[in-house]
Amino acid sequence: MLAMTSTRSSLTIALAQLNPVVGDVSGNVAKAREARREAAAQGADLILFSELFLSAYPPEDLVLKPAFQDACREALEALARDTSDGGPGMLIGLPWREGEKLHNSFALLDHGMIEAVRHKVDLPNYGVFDEKRVFDAGPLPGPIVFRGVRIGVPICEDIWGPDPVECIAETGGELLLVPNGSPYRRGVMDERLNAAVARIAEVGLPLIYLNQVGGQDELVFDGASFALNPDKRFAVQLPAFAETVSLVKLEKGADGWRAVDGEKASLAAGDEADYAACVLGLRDYVEKNRFPGVVLGLSGGIDSALCAAMAVDALGADRVHCVMMPYRFTSQDSLKDAKECAERLGVRYDIVPIAEPVEGFEAALKPLFAGTSRDITEENVQSRARGVILMSISNKFGAMVVTTGNKSEMSVGYATLYGDMNGGFNPIKDLYKMEVYRLSALRNRWKPADARGPDGVVIPENIITKAPTAELRENQKDQDSLPPYEALDDILVCLVEKEMRVADIVARGHDLDTVKKVERLLYVAEYKRRQAAPGVKVTRRNFGRDRRYPIVNRFRDAGREIAPSDEALYRSRGATASVDAFDF
């Protein structure tokens, strides 16, 4: 390691854990300026922004547009001029065009100039990330010099492997500032910490990790920025799911730089973090797309009740409109439960019966359907009539339709295209049915700190305890067509999240025929999911950018010959080799 170090003994860095908007370059510049003013008032020397802050993250193919690149560059130059006032320097990210190459870059602004630029080296190209599609990788970075201090700026993925950080250390870097656009999913906070600790163990430098916060389409960025010292101990922990401009003070001693202990926020975890992510994702989708509010069908069931609670927590009761649309199969329990839920949440609640439109459709179709028996077609007419009503309310008043299907239903196609799948956004799209139950019970005893809904029980207990039903025919229950949700959800996690073989899923204790049926339904519902509204990602593998299956797909693990060694195992569990479709 080079011995080039500064004589400066202290440095104060402001972490701008903020919520930028993709494409809103002027708005993001205004946010950056306000944050810099706040940092200056707090006595900061330097303010650090999150990855690609001027464009916001992820800009996707928008970043390929030359006019957009120009707008970001012009914004950077304007911010650089701001730093001629002697206030805090700025480290800020943007797409940077250099000849034929386009980089995910960070620029140091100070003394009225762009003093240094560093490019991201390791471009992620898995899961929700497509950076190799739009960016070129930069060279291994050395540190940049800010007012005598040699600072390494590895960008996000650059700390998930050793090379960029080792290069910074070997060329005299004294501390690491890591800007990120790292989306939330369960367990990711621990994974980030493990990556940061691994780099610290290799180079012995303090590391400050700054993350974006806010929703962008299906992604939610949770913030939760932190500072670690060379001994791997936390010096600072910022809150999750909240904007803040907070200081990290560093002091230099005989052993190098250390961060002074500061704010140490407690972080939500597990179901609480999932719920907070769903609320923030819905809020930002509505706010950033400038909808005045939302409208949703409140059926008296668990899914729509949880979505209504999330909508009120995200936007406030005055911006949420709930509509009950009963038909002759709607039970008195559903009518009572929906009304009680709306009252507890304090939302506008209307009842719009659907008998006339449903019977009108059936009358119009009667000549075409002559000689056929009633089946799922007539059930779907009910769902589509409700979809038309909600979309009409949306068109008339501008409110976005919230769609309310959970991940279990979306997995197996237990949903109606142009019916209950209608909508602009789905806050529970990545929650399996049993998780919906857990989060509903959670919300009755807890809510996020920034929630705008009421305290206490907002989802009536009967909604949580009664058997789930679509109420599209007499005495219908979900379990008439689906396995018990406890079993279904486990099978789906195995198939969707883990890509497990059918044989391995059976070995967990599931019936072979059931696993085959679920696998078949998962594949044949792909065409429905392609037409579904976006929704918040909380799992490792959501339906959207994470999982990209072909619609035309004849592969079935269940269709292969069972090996003789496996046959005995299957038979011992009482399974058979037949494959039947569920009756929907």
pLDDT score of 376: 87
Percentage of residues in the chain having pLDDT higher than 70: 92
pLDDT score of 6: 59
pLDDT score of 545: 83
Which CATH architecture group holds 10-266?
Answer: 4-Layer Sandwich (3.60)
Measure Cα distances from 100 to 59, 114, 135, 136 in Å.
19, 21, 11, 9
Residue 52 sits at φ, ψ, to 5 deg, of 50, 40
pLDDT digits (tens, 9 = 90+) for 88-99: 999 999 999 999
Residue written as tokens 């029980």?
457
Q: Mean pLDDT over residues 315-331, rounded?
A: 94
Confidence of residue 164 (pLDDT cuts 50, 70, 90): very high
Task: Inform me whether the pLDDT recorded for 108 exceeds 50.
Answer: yes
Task: Inform me whether the pLDDT recorded for 580 exceeds 70.
Answer: no
pLDDT digits (tens, 9 = 90+) for 519-542: 999 999 999 999 999 999 999 899
Task: Inform me whether the pLDDT recorded for 101 exceeds 70.
Answer: yes
Lookup: tokens for 233: 């101990």
Give the CATH H-level superfamily of domain 272-572. Answer: HUPs (3.40.50.620)
pLDDT score of 546: 84
For the chain, the distance separating the N- and C-terminal CA atoms, rounded to the nearest angstrom, is: 66
Enumerate the active-site residues: 51, 120, 156
Chain centroid to Cα 460, Å, comes to: 27
Task: Inform me whether the pLDDT recorded for 26 exceeds 70.
Answer: yes
Which positions ≥6 away from 158 have C-beta within 8 Å?
A: 120, 121, 122, 141, 164, 165, 178
Task: Inform me whether the pLDDT recorded for 334 exceeds 70.
Answer: yes
Question: Do the domains spanning 10-266 and 272-572 agree at the CATH topology level?
Answer: no
**d(C-alpha 282, C-alpha 580), whole Å:** 38
pLDDT digits (tens, 9 = 90+) for 435-481: 999 999 999 999 999 999 999 999 999 999 987 776 566 666 666 67
Domain boundaries of the chain, sorted by first residue: 10-266, 272-572
pLDDT digits (tens, 9 = 90+) for 542-576: 988 888 888 888 888 854 544 444 444 333 333 33
Contacts made by residues 192-196, CB under 8 angstroms, sequence distance 24+: 193/226, 195/159, 195/160, 196/159, 196/226, 196/228
339 versus 129: the higher-pLDDT residue is 339
Confidence of residue 578 (pLDDT cuts 50, 70, 90): very low
Measure Cα distances from 75 to 106, 146, 351 in Å.
13, 21, 50
Confidence of residue 132 (pLDDT cuts 50, 70, 90): confident
Q: Which has the minimum average pLDDT: 115-119, 273-277, 326-330, 471-475? A: 471-475
pLDDT score of 172: 94
Nearest to 539 by CA among 440, 408, 424: 408
pLDDT digits (tens, 9 = 90+) for 268-321: 899 999 999 999 999 999 999 999 999 999 999 999 999 999 999 999 999 999
pLDDT digits (tens, 9 = 90+) for 412-433: 998 999 999 999 999 999 999 9
Residue 475 sits at φ, ψ, to 5 deg, of 55, 30
pLDDT digits (tens, 9 = 90+) for 32-67: 999 999 999 999 999 999 999 999 999 999 999 999
pLDDT score of 554: 81
pLDDT score of 405: 94
pLDDT digits (tens, 9 = 90+) for 120-130: 998 988 888 88
pLDDT score of 538: 94
Tell me what the pLDDT averaged over the chain comes to.
90
pLDDT score of 127: 81
